[in-house]
Amino acid sequence: MIVNETFVDGLGNVAVQAALARIELTQLTTLPAEGGKPDFQVCERLVMSIETFLKMHQSFSEVIAQMEAKGLIRKTDSGAVTASSEKATESAKKSVSNKK
């Protein structure tokens, strides 16, 4: 079976409506001039049940915890998560996964 891969630059709208979660994936369409605002367009939309949405959240949380434990990312005082560039470069070939 062939699995399509789509590179995304960001997230658009994330919403729950009528028992379905919808996540818009966006791509950068043009690079802005210096000081300009980048232009993103929706390239894909994921639609799933709330149960699947919650399972995805759990999977992402597990992978984020592994990345933090390996020093690839760190939480700031405000609770935001940032990449640890020196560790990320060292560990780029090491994988983290929620596969069981």
- Give CB contacts under 8 A, 24+ apart, made by 48-57: 48/20, 48/21, 49/19, 49/20, 49/21, 50/16, 50/19, 50/20, 50/21, 52/21, 53/16, 53/21
Q: What is the per-residue pLDDT for 34? A: 85
Instruction: Write down the domain spans for the chain.
Output: 10-90
pTM metric for this prediction: 0.74
- The per-residue pLDDT for range 24-63, each reduced to its tens digit, is 999 999 888 888 888 999 999 999 999 999 999 999 999 9
